[in-house]
Amino acid sequence: MGHAMTDPYILNPGPRVPVTGLKAACSTDSAIVTETIMKILRDGGNAVDAAIAGCMVQAAVEPFMTNHAGTVVFLYFEAKTGRYHQLDSTGTFPGGIAPFRPLPKMTHGFAATHLSACIPGFMPGLKAMYDRFATRNWASLCEDAIRWADEGHPVSSFEYGITAGQEHFLTYFPEGREFYLPGGYFTPVGQRFGNAAMTRTLRRVAEEGPDHMISGGWARAFVDKANAMGWPITMAHMVETPPRWVEPLRFTHGAHEIVGLAPPQQQALYCAYVLGVLRHLGIADHAPGSAEHIFYMAHALRLGLFHCGFLGDPMVGSYAFDQLLDDDFQRAGARMIGGLRPAIDLTEHVRLTATGSAKAGRPTRAITSPALPPSSCELSIVDAEGNWVQMMNTMQSGGIPGMVVEGIPMCGSHATFTGMSGNMDAKLVAGTRMRRALGSTFVLRNGVPVLSLGTPGNVYFTIPQMLTYLLDFGLDVTAAQDGARMLPMDEDGSVTVEDRLMTDTLDRLASWGVNTRAISPYEYHMGSFQMCFRDGPGGQLGASADPRRCGVADGIRA
């Protein structure tokens, strides 16, 4: 794990070594966030205390990934009761008001698809977590966030590259230029980036509680700015759709049980369907990275995503959620995919039709890029009492796109409003929540967690891939995190995958009519899995971080 310059907080993507032999564990995508979480755990806070403090500081030091006006989704195992809890606090849309889109559609980056303003979900979510499960004083959980906002965090090359790549979006409004371009420039690598206005806001959040950003002074400033821009929301809209506690979805896969995010989140149903289809295709009989693995996985991911268009918020309608869990339905999907394997060699067909991707008589690996930039952070935490937290905080679906209010940057939402595909769709009715694909997941044995995982970055299709590496192929956490990740099969019959497939795999895929396109060997859009796990029969814990970003795993030694 490489350090840039001499600052211990500036890390580079690269191989990580799991931390094992622990009685409490955590993994995040930031050395600063991991440090904050460890401090709370060592001082006697529980996993929820640590998660709240981690989210607060993460939004201060990773404004290129998350912010205090974004989204929070939380999955929790409560050791003393043995119960699982899910909190959905995505950004919401005010009832009776048309989508508000103050930014033009841009050629690339975050605003390459339409962004709509929404009501922030971040602080309402942390408040709901705190009220139900936290043990520490609220202000103490804000201390590190205030300190880092005030002193500034050291900018890494990873942060600089992502931020500079979003310049047109981030600096469209003068408020964005003031926030992201102090002195007229992006903060250089190795120097510190802080914000006095954010510091003032976070101090008020510490003093007044999360309500400062829900119904207090910041909320009023947010509504005033929205009104001045032409979005006619009121203070009542800020509390119109509160966070929702949901019973997580549980399903069996082989010798394990999986607990994931239930509707309105689509992830658990999507995983159940994809894993079921792959089971009927005999995925465990094939090698990781083989042509069969790539072919079956890419098609299963695509078919599962299609079926997610038939899901939504159960408050809206009686969706057929159980259909994706039905074994016969999964078997039928597997049969359809199996029927796509051709009986003749289609290599020449691929050579003739793979526009821009065929060279010297065989398919080459054309470079493509996932459509959306990274914009989320995952936390994985287990405390010494056996409480497990797996959660995401993200800039996605929060606030007014491109605007900054009292030091809090925002990005808005990519949600559609009439969509039957994709992974974000909302209805403009008060009290409803968007269909969304976030990835926090527990893997159980005998009813208790043995593994927790989640990731930002193309979440909707990376989770079933990781579960396949771990549970079907039986890889350890390091090998599973290293495994090549792919996009779903494209409509043109091509598959985009990290550039680490063997030549014979590419040749076999071509013979089946599949043109393979490549992205970077360790593509950061493919996420950063943060994982905690049981480490052997003694019940000790381990934690691991993904090589694609700048994550750090740590823990308290047993």
* Residue type for position 155: V
Tens digit of each residue's pLDDT (9 = 90 or more) over 49-103: 999 999 999 999 999 999 999 999 999 999 999 999 999 999 999 999 999 999 9
pTM summary value = 0.96
Q: To 10 degrees, the CA torsion angle through 162, 164, 167, 169?
A: 10
- Token representation of residue 541: 């814990």
Q: For residue 363, give the H/E element and its range.
A: strand 362-363
Predicted local confidence at residue 423, as pLDDT: 79
- Token representation of residue 38: 């460890």
Q: ∠ at Cα 21 (16, 24), nearest 5°?
A: 90
- Token representation of residue 216: 């207090």
- Token representation of residue 306: 């299609």
Q: Decide: 539 and 375 in contact? Cβ < 8 Å.
A: no
* Residue type for position 45: G
If we measure between CA atoms, which residue out of 79, 78, 76, 28 comes closest to residue 55? 28
In sequence order, what are the residues at sequence separation of 6 or more whose Cβ sits closer than 8 angstroms to the Cβ of residue 126? 52, 55, 56, 72, 210
Helix (H, G, I), strand (E, B) or coil at 492: coil
Predicted local confidence at residue 536, as pLDDT: 80
d(CA 341, CA 344): 9
89-102 b/e (C-beta count within 10 Å ≥ 16 → b):
bbbbbbeeeebbeb
Predicted local confidence at residue 372, as pLDDT: 53
Strand partners, 393: 72, 377
Tens digit of each residue's pLDDT (9 = 90 or more) over 372-430: 555 799 999 999 999 999 999 999 999 999 999 999 999 999 999 987 776 789 999 99
pLDDT tens across the length of the chain (558 residues): 444 456 999 999 999 999 999 999 999 999 999 999 999 999 999 999 999 999 999 999 999 999 999 999 999 999 999 999 999 999 999 999 999 999 998 988 888 888 999 999 999 999 999 999 999 999 999 999 999 999 999 999 999 999 999 999 999 999 999 999 999 999 999 999 999 999 999 999 999 999 999 999 999 999 999 999 999 999 999 999 999 999 999 999 999 999 999 999 999 999 999 999 999 999 999 999 999 999 999 999 999 999 999 999 999 999 999 999 999 999 999 999 999 999 999 999 988 887 655 443 344 554 545 445 557 999 999 999 999 999 999 999 999 999 999 999 999 999 999 877 767 899 999 999 999 989 999 999 999 999 999 999 888 899 999 999 999 999 999 999 999 999 999 988 999 999 899 999 999 999 999 999 888 899 999 999 999 999 887 889 999 999 999 999 999 999
Predicted local confidence at residue 537, as pLDDT: 79
d(CA 348, CA 360): 11
Helices (H), 92-231: 122-133, 143-151, 157-165, 167-170, 174-180, 196-208, 217-229
If we measure between CA atoms, which residue out of 157, 163, 189 comes closest to residue 176? 163
d(CA 554, CA 395): 25
Q: For residue 60, give the H/E element and its range.
A: helix 47-61
Predicted local confidence at residue 357, as pLDDT: 52
